[in-house]
Structure 1
Amino acid sequence: MGITEFIRAERDYGSFSETLIAQLKTSARPRPIVVSGLCEGAATSFYTCLAVDVNVAGGTGTLFLVPGDTEAATLFRRLSNAGIRTLLYPTRDLLFHNAIASHESEHERLFVLAKIMSGEWDAVVATPDAALSFTMPPSALEERIITLSLGEEIPREELLRRLTDAGYVRAEEAGGVGLFSIRGGIIDIYPMTLDDAGSDNSDSSKDGNAGDMRLDPMPVRLEFFGDEIDRISIFDPETQRTINSVTKTTILPVRELCPRYEERKAIEKVARSLAEKAKDETIRAQLSSEAEYAANGLSIPSLDKYMKLVFGGGVCLLDYFEDMGRMAIITTDVNGVKKRLDGYMWQLGEDIKEMLADGLITPELAEYSFYEDKLDLFREKNAHVACSTFSPAGMSGRSLAGLYGFSSRRGIAYSGNMSLLAEDAASFLRGGYKIAVACGNETAAEVTASALRDAGVNAVAAPDVSYKDMKPGVVYTIPAAEAEGYELLLSRIVLLSFTSDTENRRTKSHTRASGAGRRAGTASQKILSYNDLTPGDYVVHEAYGIGRYLGIENLTTAGVSRDYIKIQYAGSDLLYLPTDQLGLVSKYIGANADGIVKLSKMGGADWVRAKSRAKAAAKDMAKELITLYAERKRKHGYAFPPDDEYQRGFELAFEYEDTEAQLLAIEEIKRDMESPWPMDRLLCGDVGYGKTEVALRAAFKAILAGKQVAFLVPTTILAYQHFTTAMARMRPYPITIEMLSRFRSPAQQEEILRKLRRGEIDMIIGTHRIISQDVKFRDLGLLIIDEEQRFGVAQKEKLKQLARGVDVLTLTATPIPRTLNMAMNGIRDMSILDEAPGNRYPVQTYVLEHDDAVILETIRRELRRGGQVFYLYNRIDGIHIVADRLRRSLPEARIAVAHGQMNRERLELIWQSLLDGEIDVLVSTTIIETGIDVPNANTLIIEDADRLGLAQLHQLRGRVGRSGRRAYAYFTFKRGKALSEEATNRLEAIREYTEFGAGFRIALRDMEIRGTGNLLGPQQHGHLNAVGYDMYIRLLEAAVLEEKGELALAQLPECTVDLREDAYLPQSYIFSSRHRMEMYKKIANIENEDDVRDMYDELTDRFGEPPAVAKSLLNIALIRGLGRATGIRAIEQRAEEISIKPHKLEIDVWAKLVDAVRCERNRQPRIVSADPPYITVRLTSGERPTAVVLSLLKKFIQIKDGAM
């Protein structure tokens, strides 16, 4: 166990451990043990050793009760890192009002309860309110766990019933936890599961850590042969493709409240009775709707109210430990846990009183949690250890098994300051201490040991070391992902932490976000504009322009059945497009995609002109970009030296864990900096994704090389925030950083400019003041620009002058579409951060009718936990009325207003006050969307959320949840308002997609338009709207390839195929029209036999063995791809004759083909004189046209390649 067992060196620990084991084994009632004097780091060692001792002694396990969610997450992580199989049981957010909520914490709770029942645990961490709140009884959970094995027989109807009982919902696609879909003999389920197979075992997030027991669900595919399970496999939720097969899967319920028929009838009865008595019309309507929901088997928004009707007498976490034998229960902070529980009980009591007064519940329903006496009884039955910094109040009069006081002292945070670490290590060595230094990882341990030796300290890197083996006079540097520094005064052992600061930790989320966040990078690389194509959407055809997609129709002509894409154009024009030509169509994504778009007239000149203008504009842009790129490559710049130990030390001192996207971006930037020509790289990533850290590493590299750095930002307050961040990161090093903005007086500015000219300032951070005429640098090496698009034209011209011969790194929070990035590949250096940091919870999201009582209580709850609130009201004319209303209802809150019509100085003062904690509630418009990072703001309330777009809602929700605390978002709409279908879909999507990185999936249109508009400029944006995003990107990609002298396959003319063979995807094979459209699009992109094999595998994997007509469709797609690549414009069949028409007939090659097939059956091949000439062959009876044509094309390719 290494450093985690240092506490065992303390004389009192051995005595404590013996006492604890005696209390676990005594036949009498156990007595409590009191422990005091443990600082934070020593407490971690104590809890770890305690949990190990309980297991060794044969105890059931250990329950840790902590005073807060942050403390729970920290202890969970540290015990897991020590190899203790630890579970984190989150608090239940009770939902008493008509709101629809996301379910992440519910999933976590059920996962923990199932793990406890399975016996696969050593320790559980919970707050007291989480431990006492009602949950699903063990018997109900056991009934709803579904275990399926390969070869097992289970009637499909029974499986569907059990899934429904467990809270699963049928959908077209199992795209999220709690959904399942059916396609013929295949059932896809996105389950909560206990299976190891549900995760990628090679994933780095687990780090091979045996204690890591986070929920990381992956969907399961069941293939049936009759009622027998023929195959069980895990599949990727993004691609829907199988990853690996398993022999067994265990599916957990996804809802704590899963009412069955009898329970629904009971809910209906109570709701109707309450509705009849209700005097308030609104309350009567709410109760009546709840009764209707219950009667019709629908999801009841305020189901938590009726918990007792579903759960019966009530069960909590503590009941799951019954009959498991005696266990240890550790109260980590007696006073803090008591305070937490008292606050929870008071709030719950207030909620119950309000509901009773309003007639929303009956007195019999008014129980949702046990009280402290339940916890006291549980403590009395088990071995209770009460911990406190000092001897806890209320324990002195009780009969104790032991009272133990430890002497420990918290260490300091070195934050990368090697000289201070060496000084302290030498001092402890002189005092005869045994010393260990926690260093993050093995490389850091080696580097730190080397640096200490250079400083004259006897140090050695060790993979791990026991306190028994440590020798005085030696400093041991040890890899430890996270460790608090502390000193044990009596045993004279000290652990120095060289990993991070004490507040912000290198962490990984214990929530579902860990898995979702990792996969978000994959998701964002996919452009899903076809997968969600639905009737009524606008589409763009290359030849005919913008039309409206009406659906898929199966038509039979000349005895041949095919599916066609039906598109409406201006007037009464209709186009029936064969699905093999779907590559000619793209979804229209433009400024008006969600409104009224003018349809093109088939054969009209307007579309030809619009496309021609867009093509010319794309060509001009490509030429300009390539010219600029070439000029930059011709310029000589400064080649920065490779990284040294100082650079590595600076990066290792970063207090969070780097994401893979960050590491890749840093590598790309350093490669550019070390090259002999000036860097010009764009770094894209959402706020909070780590752009600033990447930029600071580049800045540090430049400063180490003796160069100056300029960091330009658009606002004074952002300059201040970046300045404080840079100062904190670089404080341990002799680096001078200054800020140039309105926050500096004229005299201060003059002094800063003087030092800048003399080279006495290494890094200057500021607004456009940096690019003023009087600003001179001694040796500028790196220019960092944050949000360049927010600067004016004149300022951008000055930037160009400043950037001559200098490396430039531009940061933007605008999501750049992957398609645009790929189209500009090789002409614009771009790095993308599309992976969320691991230490953030998903935002708990609620969608509800606006209710002042709920909103006011939500605000009070956030203020009680010391947080701040964003309240969004997006109409300036009424925003002060809303703020005044809140002030009257919340006199204790400090409330301010912010909107876009305020002047910059006033807004910056408001942002500064918000950052300094002087504002509790900020009532604002959507201006907060581009505000600064306020980590303490963790509740967002939006009025009239149905009036905002999906991308906007997602961006706004991103303003909260930037710290390690649980954040909440409430999207409200007017009471009684009938939402449009579009608004309902938006709000449903924003509730479902809570994981980080979901922005690219749920807001593709808005984000792509916003991204391209900023990157391409307003002129190109106009052309983009005229022809649609996908069409414009294709034109741009073709123009870039043409300018680079590369022929693109996309520029090759199409090959049309018309063969007398049924070829389509039957609705009986793929029922969902959306999935059929998705498959048709993929099939239309087939170019070679490898593509066909891959497509066949995907169809088989997702929908079962393809029928003959689907196989014919694949063959026709292959014929079209091969024909296109070999210069054939058309392949047609008339009666029993097939014509192959090339663009240009190569007589020698085609003559050889005619000779090669002349002897085959009764082909009768001939070359037909025409303009241009073409060849024909005859079919014999029973031959499939696709097989004959494929054979001919393969022979033709062999002849062209000289193989025949």
Structure 2
Amino acid sequence: MSFKVLTRLVAGVSQTLELRTLGVAPAVSAALVAQSTAGRRILVIVASEVEAETIAYDIASLQDGCNSYWLPAWDTVPFERVAPSMRTVGLRLRALSALQEKSESGVVVTASVRSALQRLAPSALDLERFSLHVGSSLPQVELVEFLLRNGYLREAQVSSPGEFAVRGSIVDLFPPDADSPIRADFFGDELDRLGIFDPGSQVTIDAIGEYEILPAREVLVDGRLRAGLEELAERAPVLGDRIRELLDGTSADPAESLLPLVLNHQATIPSDLLDEDDVVILAGGALLEAESIRLVADELSMTQALAPTWGIEATESTAGLLASFDHISESPAQSVLLTDDGADPHPLRIDHRDMTGFVERVGSFIRRGFRVIVTAESQARVRALTATFASFERYPIAIGADADPPETAGLYLLEGVRLYHSFIVETAKLVVVADTELVRPIANPRTPRRSPRTLSSTLDDLAPGTLVVHETYGIARYQGIVSRSLAEVERDYLLLEFGGKDKIYLPSDQTDRITLYVGGEDPALSRLGSREWSQQVRKARRAANEVAQELVVLYQKRLVTVGHAKEADTPWQDEMESAFPYELTPDQVIAIEEMKRDLEQPIPMDRMICGDVGFGKTEIAIRAAFKTIQSGNQVAILVPTTILAQQHYDTFRERFEPYGVKVGLLSRFVSGREVKRLKEELRLGTLDCLVATHALVSKEIDFKRLGLLVIDEEQRFGVQHKEFWKTRHPDLDVLTLSATPIPRTLELSLVGVRDMSLLRTPPLDRQPILTHVGPDDDAAISEAIRRELIRGGQVFYVHNRVRDIQSVARKVADLVPTARILIAHGQLPEHELERVVDDFWHRRADVLVCTTIIESGIDLPSVNTLIVDHAEDLGLGQLHQLRGRVGRSGQRAYAYLFYPRTKPLSVIALERLRTIVENTDLGSGYRIAMRDLELRGAGTFLGQRQSGHMSAVGYELYVRLVAEAVAQMKGDERIEVAEINIDLPISYSIPVSYVEEETVRMDLYRRLALACTDAEVTELAEELIDRFGPHPDVVANLIAMTRLKLTLIERGVHEVGSRRSARTGGMEVFLRPLELRPSEEVRLRRLPSRPSYRAIDHEVVVPFRPRDDLLALVGEIVMGSPNSRS
């Protein structure tokens, strides 16, 4: 997004400067060059990826109409058996395509020196594109051939970038540079419809008129690369099998791994894509050259370590992916060297921790006649900056993003603009301050990409061999969907295997009758015909009633307690919330609405926010706290670690400071004198919000008007900690946050005693973390750290024993001598630990060797590799939380979990590590909590009295029994789950020819079975057409059957079937029971189908012929009775 005021400022500056000698302020320098060289291609080269990304963002803001792109380097290294992430590929392809198209408005591409020197594959030098236009003549096969030729993988369903699917007339595809996948619907050889769809729901969300498709991969095994691979196979026979797999498309290894050995050219962007009309801007020539030399050496070291894994000799002659710096210095493009010898414009260095010094510098600039412009993205930041300059001689002047630039000296606040880099232009008497440099570092700008929800169904993990619970028949093993044909009627069934090899073919429209089995032990399969299952359910129901009595006491106590009803949102609440720099996910929006509704009630709130690591729970807590404070109450925030306490303190203080809200911190970082002051301010009510560790649980702490308790990482606290303040303040509102909730907490939520909000949508651009589990491996540790350093990132190395953590740090130093290493653990003196965290935060070190103290609290976008030794000693929840510390920036992240080679693992430890590897999907915290329940036993969480019954019937059924008992004791109206058996000679199914993937078919069957209204069925029917095309007859029958089923349930009918008439010998349909009054009976007999009614058993019978539409016939009978016409 560009801002006219900034563009006009740049235009004014350009008149005062010589563009051949500019200072090292890459963003504004590039904007100056772009403005004076319209239509040219400009390559900006900087030292690091972090700089490149933020500078590309700033260039777009500074220059109106400029096409600014970031070209990231690959997030992998040669010979690594992992392809670059699709996000990286998409960004690179978008930038390469822009360079090759030569836009009339010009193109600016910003790259790190590593990215600029990366050698390009032949396919990247000449990208193939494919244009889609609605209404154009286009055979579907041409699009499919393009996708196959350009690296797209054909799947049954598109969910990730680089995939495509074909279903009849529909082609779904997800270009790597797209924010959302694309759906193209053909009518013959014409493109009839084009739209974008949600990869989670698979439903089209918007129509578009045209789209240009780029390849899915930068490196394609096409004719140009194929020759190089064949030549390599002859030169290195040891690679023969792997190369043949690459050539025929069956290799699990990406072509990128071997690219350095295959390329017979040194093509790079500066040397091969630019010409003499273009410009290369170098942000410090000597610095970049030195960095390139280091990168080439590091890559060579990595290459030599990884090459032997392919059977290649680790010699110095092994090729690398990076070209020499000569490719930049000898580029045909014109060079502009940014120097640090005082030339304009140059960067303005700001320390966000010294705001007093910053204010003094601003005053000095203004006295010298400078215009000082401070950007402020939100109204809240304008308010905060106004407060910062409250003692200033002149009041700051606010200007809009589209205003004319100021011409006189003074302090100006530019609202609605975000910049990442501050700069000064001495000759133009101008200082521009990026607001982002005045606060703690935050994540870099990200191109939003729609993220699917992650907890869409309780049967997501259903696969053949999975244990399930059928509410009537008991525990069985699911063996898949099977099609059966009986008397020319074909349907799909779920095959369930019970004890004694008994089997049941469950009709696909009854999938709502089964749930996954979750329990603390491996149960025996139930035997059909035995009374054992009904007895187990009866015992579990009695136990559930006992538990329900306790829970209802808690619930009723909460209902009769008068709480603090908070006020409706104030203008300041809206303003503070608008300062949040990211887009809320749909689940966050719902959770915030639910939380505010609770707070505004006179009943104490008890709500849990359940969401995976990094899914946005803290933002909900911030809004709840501010709302409470605006209503005149105090807030306590209980957290498990000092590091998390410090982080929350910084975050809450930063967000609340513009509004005069006072935030305090209570942890071991705080001195005794400060603790005494905090206690006094809490007692007097002058402290509004306190962030604290376990020290909060003390009778010495007393609040004047405590209104809200926030418990973060709920699973880390014992019952006594959580209940301490609830007991002292029964009217307290409580908000609990958890990524891996303990089953006892889930139980309270699921049965209605505690309210729960689920955050199921991952943040935009978050990627699953690649997780490796294996025995200790120094070579792997060295490779992991070196790879991260080459990417310009940082590493967490977790060793959870303080006694020998120093020796582990020395080992890491020996493995990677160039790495800067710090040590952090809970026994460090408070100021030293604070210094270590601050140094690592500001990237003064590369590797933090630490204990699990980082499990909660350090959120650094630059940390994308986690190494854990002795992982077998950690719990599942701990491992999941630790893994959540990386991958928070959108970059590909890695987690290495090692165990000793010489130590045999216990079965439980082995299963824990296997579970963490199998659950790498975003939002897997809930599944991990359930698996932890199984591994550790239900008694650990629910108490021994409940655990046996839960194991006997499964967690989900047991919780449902408790919920039913609670509802009954609360006096809620009991809604019976209606069971109806419809057995008509009609074929209905979702055939494989229509929906190929069994898990998708299963999900659709279940959603249809759970549909409660005609509107839901209509929505599903439309979704099927949108995703898979027109309904085949059997699908249309299934939808009509589902609609009919809802009508029959509404009328109280339990059974519909067909039989041969004993009186006429013909076929007839029967329905029962259908209770009719005499007048209704008369009306029924007048229907054209001539039904009969037997009042004694309320049965309706109607004859039919083979060609009759039975669904319409039954519908006529039911709809023909007056009670159905409501």
Q: Which residue of 2 aligns with 1:238?
A: 200
Distance 1:545 1:71, change over 3 A: same
Q: Which residue of 1 aligns with 2:324?
A: 371
What is the CA deviation profile of residues 885-934 of structure 1, one whole-angstrom value per residue up to 9, with x for unaligned ones?
65654577688999xxx9x7589999878636589756789896567546
Contact 2:419–2:435, Cα closer than 8 Å, also in 1: no
Distance 1:1142 1:636, change over 3 A: same
- Are 1:578 and 2:558 an aligned pair? no
> Whole-Å Cα distance in 2 between the matches of residues 1072 and 964 of structure 1?
29
| 1:787 shift after superposition | 3.0
What is the CA deviation profile of residues 551-587 of structure 1, one whole-angstrom value per residue up to 9, with x for unaligned ones?
2233333443332221100112111112222221223
> Whole-Å Cα distance in 2 between the matches of residues 843 and 1182 of structure 1?
54
> Whole-Å Cα distance in 2 between the matches of residues 738 and 435 of structure 1?
33
Q: Which residue of 2 aligns with 1:208?
A: none
Q: Which residue of 2 aligns with 1:92?
A: 74
- Are 1:347 and 2:298 an aligned pair? yes
- Are 1:773 and 2:735 an aligned pair? no
Contact 1:409–1:488, Cα closer than 8 Å, also in 2: no
Aligned-partner residue type, residue 92 of structure 1: W
Q: Which residue of 2 aligns with 1:1070?
A: 995
Q: Secondary structure at the match of 2:740?
A: coil
Contact 1:946–1:984, Cα closer than 8 Å, also in 2: yes
Distance 1:478 1:604, change over 3 A: same
> Whole-Å Cα distance in 2 between the matches of residues 672 and 1015 of structure 1?
31
Q: Secondary structure at the match of 2:484?
A: strand
Contact 1:62–1:330, Cα closer than 8 Å, also in 2: yes
Which deviates more from structure 2 when the two are superposed, residues 859-868 or residues 313-322?
A: 859-868
> Whole-Å Cα distance in 2 between the matches of residues 751 and 502 of structure 1?
26
Contact 1:989–1:1002, Cα closer than 8 Å, also in 2: no
Q: Secondary structure at the match of 1:1098?
A: helix
Unpaired segments ≥5 residues, structure 2: 902-909, 1061-1065
**Which among 329, 341, 357 is matched to residue 390 of structure 1?**
341
Distance 1:1122 1:237, change over 3 A: same
Aligned-partner residue type, residue 534 of structure 1: A
| 1:408 shift after superposition | 7.8
Q: Which residue of 1 aligns with 2:100?
A: 117
Aligned-partner residue type, residue 293 of structure 2: D
| 1:132 shift after superposition | 1.8
Aligned-partner residue type, residue 307 of structure 1: L
Contact 1:219–1:237, Cα closer than 8 Å, also in 2: no
Q: Which residue of 2 aligns with 1:1133?
A: 1058
Contact 1:413–1:485, Cα closer than 8 Å, also in 2: no
Q: Which residue of 1 aligns with 2:242?
A: 290
Over the aligned positions, Cα root-mean-square deviation in angstroms equals: 5.1
| 1:71 shift after superposition | 0.7
**Which among 476, 479, 499 is matched to residue 416 of structure 2?**
479
Distance 1:612 1:1133, change over 3 A: same
Distance 1:159 1:955, change over 3 A: farther
Distance 1:293 1:745, change over 3 A: same
Aligned-partner residue type, residue 299 of structure 2: L
Q: Which residue of 2 aligns with 1:1084?
A: 1009
**Which among 1106, 1110, 1118 is matched to residue 1193 of structure 1?**
1118
| 1:751 shift after superposition | 6.3
Contact 2:665–2:691, Cα closer than 8 Å, also in 1: yes
> Whole-Å Cα distance in 2 between the matches of residues 151 and 458 of structure 1?
59
Contact 1:132–1:317, Cα closer than 8 Å, also in 2: yes
Distance 1:292 1:1003, change over 3 A: farther
Aligned-partner residue type, residue 255 of structure 1: R
Pairing 1:495-534 to 2, within 5 Å after superposition = 495=432, 501=438, 504-505=441-442, 508-510=445-447, 514-516=448-450, 519-520=451-452, 523-524=453-454, 526-530=455-459, 532-534=461-463
- Are 1:34 and 2:21 an aligned pair? yes
What is the CA deviation profile of residues 531-569 of structure 1, one whole-angstrom value per residue up to 9, with x for unaligned ones?
553221222211011101112233333443332221100
Contact 2:79–2:303, Cα closer than 8 Å, also in 1: no
Distance 1:335 1:849, change over 3 A: farther
Q: Secondary structure at the match of 2:1112?
A: helix
**Which among 244, 249, 253 is matched to residue 301 of structure 1?**
253
What is the CA deviation profile of residues 200-241 of structure 1, one whole-angstrom value per residue up to 9, with x for unaligned ones?
xxxxxxxxxxxxxxx42414344464x665554433221223
Q: Which residue of 2 aligns with 1:254?
A: 216
Q: Secondary structure at the match of 2:1015?
A: helix
Aligned-partner residue type, residue 837 of structure 2: L
Q: Which residue of 2 aligns with 1:188?
A: 172
Pairing 1:40-79 to 2, within 5 Å after superposition = 44-55=27-38, 59-79=39-59
- Are 1:1110 and 2:1047 an aligned pair? no
> Whole-Å Cα distance in 2 between the matches of residues 103 and 363 of structure 1?
31
Aligned-partner residue type, residue 1156 of structure 1: R
Q: Which residue of 1 aligns with 2:730?
A: 804
Pairing 1:627-642 to 2, within 5 Å after superposition = 628-640=554-566
Distance 1:1014 1:717, change over 3 A: farther
- Are 1:169 and 2:153 an aligned pair? yes
Q: Which residue of 2 aligns with 1:915?
A: 837
Distance 1:598 1:1153, change over 3 A: same
> Whole-Å Cα distance in 2 between the matches of residues 336 and 479 of structure 1?
34
Q: Secondary structure at the match of 1:315?
A: coil
| 1:166 shift after superposition | 1.7
> Whole-Å Cα distance in 1 between the matches of residues 137 and 114 of structure 2?
41
Q: Which residue of 2 aligns with 1:206?
A: none
Distance 1:1186 1:691, change over 3 A: closer
Distance 1:728 1:297, change over 3 A: closer
Contact 1:635–1:677, Cα closer than 8 Å, also in 2: yes
| 1:486 shift after superposition | 5.7
> Whole-Å Cα distance in 1 between the matches of residues 353 and 568 of structure 2?
25
**Which among 99, 112, 120 is matched to residue 135 of structure 1?**
120
| 1:390 shift after superposition | 1.9
Pairing 1:540-939 to 2, within 5 Å after superposition = 540-591=469-520, 596-616=522-542, 628-640=554-566, 669=595, 672-673=598-599, 675-692=601-618, 694-696=620-622, 698-699=624-625, 707-723=633-649, 725-726=651-652, 738-743=664-669, 753=679, 756-759=682-685, 761-814=687-740, 824=750, 828-834=754-760, 842=767, 845=770, 852-862=778-788, 868-871=794-797, 889-890=815-816, 915=837, 933=859, 937-939=863-865
What is the CA deviation profile of residues 1091-1125 of structure 1, one whole-angstrom value per residue up to 9, with x for unaligned ones?
44333333333333333233223222222222112
- Are 1:338 and 2:265 an aligned pair? no
What is the CA deviation profile of residues 24-72 of structure 1, one whole-angstrom value per residue up to 9, with x for unaligned ones?
xxxxxxxxx2223x6x6xx6444334323322xxx42322111111111
Which deviates more from structure 2 when the two are superposed, residues 303-312 or residues 878-887?
A: 878-887
> Whole-Å Cα distance in 2 between the matches of residues 255 and 934 of structure 1?
29
Q: Which residue of 1 aligns with 2:906?
A: none
Contact 1:780–1:806, Cα closer than 8 Å, also in 2: yes
Q: Secondary structure at the match of 1:774?
A: coil
Contact 2:739–2:926, Cα closer than 8 Å, also in 1: no
> Whole-Å Cα distance in 2 between the matches of residues 1092 and 653 of structure 1?
40
> Whole-Å Cα distance in 2 between the matches of residues 917 and 413 of structure 1?
14
> Whole-Å Cα distance in 1 between the matches of residues 736 and 170 of structure 2?
48
| 1:376 shift after superposition | 0.9
**TM-score, normalising length from structure 1?**
0.78
Q: Secondary structure at the match of 1:91?
A: coil
Distance 1:1004 1:116, change over 3 A: farther
Unpaired segments ≥5 residues, structure 1: 21-32, 194-214, 277-286, 392-403, 976-980
Q: Secondary structure at the match of 1:100?
A: coil
Aligned-partner residue type, residue 572 of structure 1: K
Aligned-partner residue type, residue 783 of structure 2: E
Contact 2:151–2:215, Cα closer than 8 Å, also in 1: yes
Q: Which residue of 2 aligns with 1:1165?
A: 1092
> Whole-Å Cα distance in 2 between the matches of residues 1109 and 843 of structure 1?
38
**TM-score, normalising length from structure 2?**
0.83
Q: Secondary structure at the match of 2:93?
A: helix
